[in-house]
Structure 1
Amino acid sequence: MPEIKLTEWEDALCAVIRALHPGVVIQSTEEKRALDSVTRVLQYVAMNQLGLRELKVWSPVSYRQISVEDPSKITELAPLDFFSAVAEFKKKTLDADENRAVLVLADAGHLLNTPNNLRLVRETLWAIRGSRCVLVFLGLPFTIPPSIAPDLNIQTFELPNVKQLETVLVPSVHWYKKLPAFKNLNIDESVVPRFARACAGLTEIEARGLLGLSVSRFSAFDHRAVELALQEKAQIVKRSNVVEYKTCKGGLDSVGGLENVKAWIREQDDVFTNYDAARAGGLQLAKGLLLTGIPGTGKSLLAEMLAAHWSLPLLLLDVGSLFGGIVGQSEENVNAFITLAKACAPCVVHIDEIEKALGGGGGELDGGTTARVKGKLLTWLQNKPADVFVVATANDVTKFESSPELIRAGRFDLVSFVDLPDKKARLEILAIHYAKACAYAKAGSVQSTLQEKISADVLLPVADATRGYSGAELEAIVKRALRFGFAAKVNQPTAEHFVEAARRTKPLAVTMAEQIATLRNWCKEGRAVPAGATIEDDASDTAAFVMDGVPQLLLPAKGN
């Protein structure tokens, strides 16, 4: 028998079997792959003087014996019902001390709801304690009856990793080329690693299915297969109703201001965009970024543009959606979110208004649900997969005072405060939103009548008149000025249109002056790094960010 090298999961199962544990529950949707791993473990055990002579697999529709020495030798047995199969297993283990047997019960969890079946399983587990016989439940997770829980070790069968998928996909690609219908199949083998990474988080069957779909649809295996895999992940997320999947376009230059945090993000580029090489060099990825500050200052936009900058999908989690009205539903939603994040990795996860779930106390009147959700999310933030980058945004930073564990080192690599923009940032934001309006006009079915190039002479008076306005309010001003210009039948709003739009827009700095002062004082106490320049840093010299009468943002960014 050739030497067998076990995976990490198989090694853990091997330890359980060698510890003479009587029962194991293997939670998995991949029955065949899980059964193959069980067989490999038994082969390994057999090679180390703990030989298992018999492996039988029962399901509601079949009963068969698999040779431990040669798994390709499968003997179909006369079908038995659940009770008879377990009773036969129990009898054999009692009759023959040396009969080292394993019985795998596939999709049998629901059958434990019958009192007779449960009692038989309980007595069987008692009978085989300390022997080299094992009773294995294989299938989807089920509620384990308390009477047998102490004798069952629960193992969650891991989805295939990228290397395992590559091993499976390479021969599958060439298998298609042997078929007459695909003899002219164009194969780009360099795509296989990227396709395998895109399929990370899917089952082996799902990955094979996507490969077949790509070959059938495109008569080729190329970069389109990767795009197809990412689209399939988006469908998985959409079906969950827990998070929203976004494919973002743009980049960091689509965000005005915030120079400090954008510079920090660019420092992570080499590591995050070359993950495998960075890991080989011993480098660890940044865990995430916590953006706090005033509402409407671009925190959520930055999360989206960061994902676009790294060409990664974005998972948007609204923490309010985690809480359900049914007992246990909130915890299930958190588990579903964690599973989806792992399935979509590498990705960026945006946790919006994180203070609602993790900031402050609460939960005294909900049976501890809030506390459990908070605990699960905090644990995940600490131990999440390395290739999941978290951007958390929060408006009410005062709630962190009662939850310092959220912002301690190890959860986030940078805690940054986003304040109201300074004059330079306001000019950039105005230019960005005007450029977006021009792009929207060009994409229409009728030729655009909007003049694309806008001069600093138009925007500088607006930047001066909007001190204390947030990015969201500046966006609203651009939209209102465009309506004024359209009504005046001009191909570009004038400075007067913009200033009038600003006059009619009341900023949060006025309507919520006290609350904003509290938020800004929190940052001034040194609790967070400023995301960029603020209105206190307003520049009097505009030459630094205007060239030839055009805002610098509209010129190509240097070094990008």
Structure 2
Amino acid sequence: MKFTSELALFLKARYPIIYITTVEEDRVEYIIRKNVKTNLNRSIYSWDFVDGYTNNPNNEGFAKRNPLQALELVERLNSETPALFLLKDFNRFLTDLSISRKLRNISRILKLQPKTIIIIGSELTIPKELQELITVLQFQLPLEEEINQELTRLLQSLNIQIEAELFENLTRACQGLSLERIRRVLSKIIATYKTIDGNSIGILLSEKKQIISQTEILEYCSVNEKITNLGGLTNLKDWLNKRKTAFSIQASNYGLPTPRGLLLIGIQGTGKSLTAKAIANDWQLPLLKLDVGKLFGGIVGESESRLRQMINVAETISPCILWIDEIDKAFTNTDSKGDSGTSNRILATFISWLSEKTKPVFVISTANNIDLLPLEIIRKGRFDEIFFLDLPKLDEREEIFKIHLQEFRPNSWKSFDITKLAQLSESFSGAEIRQSIIEGMYQAFYEKREVTTEDICLALKEFIPLANLESKQMTKLQNWASSGQIRLASSKPIYI
């Protein structure tokens, strides 16, 4: 484990103060004690604000509710006694002048004696005057191997056998949860279902939803849409189908890197948002939607902090899908923003993360207007692929009508003249086709009779599609797509 090797190196090199950021206090203390006992001959002194020092009879309860006194024990111990001081939640006191001064004073002692202070906190808060003294060490959430061990232990204790595929799906669903949360959720699953099966995945994902609900930037989206609900888009569907199992252990063993993301461009109503939801459902991954409006805060530095929080949550929940709707409105291609460069800094950080991220976070971004998109986002390497979703062609419109009529009229959809409806709906998007069916149903319901093909035809004739209102933008998009700079989501070529 990278954490244990780094910690051992820091201790041997006599780093004076180590700061470990984690929410798994008990687990990190267990790992530290286990490795110190095995590899290093050091006594461990554990302190917290309420109980003072514990686990050592000579100093039991010392320095209760007194963080300054907790540091004095470091000086009192014999200079030749190798010691490790675990100070829990001590980051809360670092801004206190007396604590900060005391740490700087005893840092000279720590460099000469085999003693190290380890601060354990859930948040990273280090005053400037202590930044040179403190070394930050990240403590990761349970990795795949640890989750496998925990699941195996539980299944063996309950004498439950499950298929290898379900075991892998459970492992993937547990990633992003602390070991304590995993144990708690598995106990809930056993209490609910008396066993571990396919239903367990849903409960694990709902636990991830609890984590996401603690932030106002991301929204956990429950999805029921299926890839089969998308009319047309054969190229896009084929691309997605080949990457459906790319997050599996087999793909990793094969040497495949996990997919990075997808940028979908097209006018409103062509199925971009529906595609994002369908991918999450088909790949069985949690879908997180970024509220770009809440990303930009009014306080200087707040927007950058929120972006880092968003990235941290997404990577914690991974593997997952991060959906950024209408990214063109968030990062417009203009320098005259009047926001002191905040948008540019956010864009730079976001693009850097897109290019360098190692966690399995699949980013799906949608955009309507290419003119507003910065070239840095469109450039290859940010996303695996950029697809253009054009207005549906005749056969695609037939498929879309069929899908929606089967939804609204499952018993009588065959009685509708789908070919005629498709011919009348030229320049209509998928969303507009659906709305025309609804308009026809309203008319028939008002007249207290069953909806017919003619009702929908009348609605189509009265409907003004968005493509007609924004014909210049639509033509520009189609010309750009036909130039070969972007991949077509539909198999049929575009003729302008």
**Normalised TM-score (structure 2):** 0.91
1-structure distance, mates of 2:447, 2:241: 43
Residue correspondence of structure 1 range 84-95 to structure 2 within 5 A? 84-92=69-77
TM-aligned CA deviation for residue 125 of structure 1: 1.6
Residue 18 of structure 1: aligned partner? 12
Could you report, residue by residue, the CA deviation over 1:233-253 in whole angstroms, capped at 9, with x for unpaired residues?
A: 123223322222223224222
Could you report, residue by residue, the CA deviation over 1:34-55 in whole angstroms, capped at 9, with x for unpaired residues?
A: 1122224434552xxxx4x322
Could you report, residue by residue, the CA deviation over 1:121-163 in whole angstroms, capped at 9, with x for unpaired residues?
A: 1111233235432111112214211111111011221111232
Could you report, residue by residue, the CA deviation over 1:504-536 in whole angstroms, capped at 9, with x for unpaired residues?
A: 111122211222222223223322111115695
1:504 and 2:456 equivalent?
Answer: no
2-structure distance, mates of 1:361, 1:89: 56
> Cα gap change, 1:302/1:139 in structure 2, threshold over 3 Å: closer, same or farther?
same
TM-aligned CA deviation for residue 227 of structure 1: 2.2
Residue 346 of structure 1: aligned partner? 319
Contact 1:170–1:192 under 8 Å retained in 2:
no
Residue correspondence of structure 1 range 126-275 to structure 2 within 5 A? 126-129=108-111, 131-172=113-154, 187-190=160-163, 193-272=168-247, 275=248
2-structure distance, mates of 1:149, 1:8: 23
Task: Give the secondary structure class of the aligned counterpart of 1:336.
Answer: helix
Match of 1:408 among 350, 375, 379: 379
Q: Which runs of 5+ in 2 are unaligned?
A: none
Residue correspondence of structure 1 range 74-153 to structure 2 within 5 A? 77-80=60-63, 81-92=66-77, 96=79, 98-129=80-111, 131-153=113-135
Task: Give the secondary structure class of the aligned counterpart of 2:141.
Answer: coil
One-letter amino acid matched to 1:10? T
One-letter amino acid matched to 1:434? L
Contact 1:470–1:507 under 8 Å retained in 2:
yes
Contact 1:304–1:314 under 8 Å retained in 2:
yes
Identity level (%): 29
1-structure distance, mates of 2:31, 2:245: 37
TM-aligned CA deviation for residue 397 of structure 1: 1.0
1:427 and 2:402 equivalent?
Answer: no
Task: Give the secondary structure class of the aligned counterpart of 1:500.
Answer: helix
Residue 446 of structure 1: aligned partner? none
Residue correspondence of structure 1 range 354-365 to structure 2 within 5 A? 354-362=327-335, 365=338
Residue 324 of structure 1: aligned partner? 297
TM-aligned CA deviation for residue 213 of structure 1: 1.5
2-structure distance, mates of 1:485, 1:204: 57
> Cα gap change, 1:269/1:168 in structure 2, threshold over 3 Å: closer, same or farther?
closer
CA root-mean-square deviation: 2.6
Task: Give the secondary structure class of the aligned counterpart of 2:321.
Answer: strand
2-structure distance, mates of 1:311, 1:172: 23
Task: Give the secondary structure class of the aligned counterpart of 1:419.
Answer: coil
> Cα gap change, 1:386/1:127 in structure 2, threshold over 3 Å: closer, same or farther?
closer
Task: Give the secondary structure class of the aligned counterpart of 1:143.
Answer: coil
Task: Give the secondary structure class of the aligned counterpart of 2:262.
Answer: strand
One-letter amino acid matched to 1:216? A
1-structure distance, mates of 2:190, 2:439: 49
Residue 547 of structure 1: aligned partner? none
TM-aligned CA deviation for residue 302 of structure 1: 1.2
> Cα gap change, 1:82/1:488 in structure 2, threshold over 3 Å: closer, same or farther?
closer
Match of 1:279 among 227, 252, 269: 252
Could you report, residue by residue, the CA deviation over 1:391-424 in whole angstroms, capped at 9, with x for unpaired residues?
A: 2111111123xx3222223221111111111111
TM-aligned CA deviation for residue 76 of structure 1: 6.0
> Cα gap change, 1:78/1:463 in structure 2, threshold over 3 Å: closer, same or farther?
closer
Contact 2:85–2:117 under 8 Å retained in 1:
yes
Contact 2:155–2:161 under 8 Å retained in 1:
no
Task: Give the secondary structure class of the aligned counterpart of 1:285.
Answer: coil
One-letter amino acid matched to 2:457? V
1-structure distance, mates of 2:217, 2:179: 24
Contact 2:436–2:463 under 8 Å retained in 1:
yes
Residue 463 of structure 1: aligned partner? 422
2-structure distance, mates of 1:535, 1:463: 19
TM-aligned CA deviation for residue 24 of structure 1: 0.9
Residue 181 of structure 1: aligned partner? none
2-structure distance, mates of 1:394, 1:339: 24
One-letter amino acid matched to 2:129? S
User: Aligned residues, how many?
Assistant: 492
Task: Give the secondary structure class of the aligned counterpart of 1:134.
Answer: strand
TM-aligned CA deviation for residue 473 of structure 1: 1.4
> Cα gap change, 1:288/1:112 in structure 2, threshold over 3 Å: closer, same or farther?
closer
For the pair shown, the structure with the greater C-alpha radius of gyration is: 1
Residue 49 of structure 2: aligned partner? 60
> Cα gap change, 1:246/1:75 in structure 2, threshold over 3 Å: closer, same or farther?
farther
Contact 2:54–2:61 under 8 Å retained in 1:
no
> Cα gap change, 1:363/1:218 in structure 2, threshold over 3 Å: closer, same or farther?
farther
1:520 and 2:478 equivalent?
Answer: yes
TM-aligned CA deviation for residue 489 of structure 1: 4.4
TM-aligned CA deviation for residue 371 of structure 1: 2.6
